[in-house]
Amino acid sequence: MEASKVIHAIYTDDDVLMSAVKRVKAEKHHIEEVYTPFPVHGLDKAMGLEPTRIAIASFIYGCIGLTVAITMMNFIMIEDWPQNIGGKPSFSYIENMPAFVPIMFELTVFFAAHLMVITFYLRSRMWPFKKAENPDPRTTDDHFLMEIAVHGNEKELESLLKETGAVELNFVDKEAH
């Protein structure tokens, strides 16, 4: 991406931010990103982001976990070292299945949860030793920041954003990354 000029509009309230996002979208400006200290309900819809596909990923991870559990218990308890526990000899997976259900359940949840979190981090471009993309540390505390691309329309944007209740406006030359 070539170097580009952006404007950072800072807000102090999530409701004000929401209406500002709607207003800016209505005026057909491109919002690059919004940084918030906490998830703002409905912001993704207002920004026109695509719906998340993490649910599908999570379902697939769950299925993988279930398969791993079945294969693992079948190998451990039936094939490799069958034992007679409580008068129930382990000769058949299906007949001993009730005993394995808790493991099947737990591994399904384990795989779905952990892989989903890891996927979410990677998809959000977060990994160890990564330099924070966050342009202003105040957005981790109590401020909201909207980043809009500028294409020679500084004046127009400035007045629009002021109207929407921005408390601060900064023009920034963004480095290519």
Partner 1 sequence: MYTFSNKLKTVSIALMIIGALGVVYGFMTSHKSFEEVETILAEEASHHGGGHGEEAAHGTSHDTHAAEAAHGEGHGDSAESHVDEHTKHVEHVRHQIANRPWSAVYVAAFFFFMIALGVLAFYAIQFAAQAGWSPVLFRIMEAITAYVLPGALIVLGIAVASGTIGHYNIFVWMDPEVVEHDKLIQGKSGWLNLGGFIIRGLIFIAGWSLYRHFARKFSLAQDNADVNDNRNFKKSFRIAAGFLVFYIYTESMMSWDWIMSVDPHWFSTLFGWYVFASMFVSGITVIALITMYLKSKDLLPFVNDSHLHDLAKFMFAISIFWTYLWFSQFMLIWYSNIPEEVTYFVTRFADYKLPFLGMVVMNFVFPLLVLMNSDYKRIPWFVVMAGIVILCGHYIDVFNMIMPATVGDRWFIGIPELSAIMFFAGLFIFIVFTALTKAPLLAKGNPFIKESEHFHY
| Identity of the residue, 101 or 167, whose beta carbon is nearer to partner 1 in the bound complex | 101
| Identity of the residue, 12 or 67, whose beta carbon is nearer to partner 1 in the bound complex | 67
Q: Which residues bind partner 1 (CB under 8 A)?
A: 42, 55, 59, 86-88, 98-99, 101-102
Residues 6+ apart with CB under 8 A from 66: 104, 107, 108
> Least distance in Å: CB of 105 to partner 1?
9
Angle 81-86-92 from CA coordinates, rounded to 5°: 45
Angle 40-41-42 from CA coordinates, rounded to 5°: 115
> Least distance in Å: CB of 157 to partner 1?
30
| Identity of the residue, 97 or 126, whose beta carbon is nearer to partner 1 in the bound complex | 97
| Identity of the residue, 32 or 102, whose beta carbon is nearer to partner 1 in the bound complex | 102
50, 44, 40: which is closest to 16 by C-alpha? 40
> Least distance in Å: CB of 97 to partner 1?
10
d(CA 20, CA 107): 44
> Least distance in Å: CB of 150 to partner 1?
33
d(CA 159, CA 24): 11
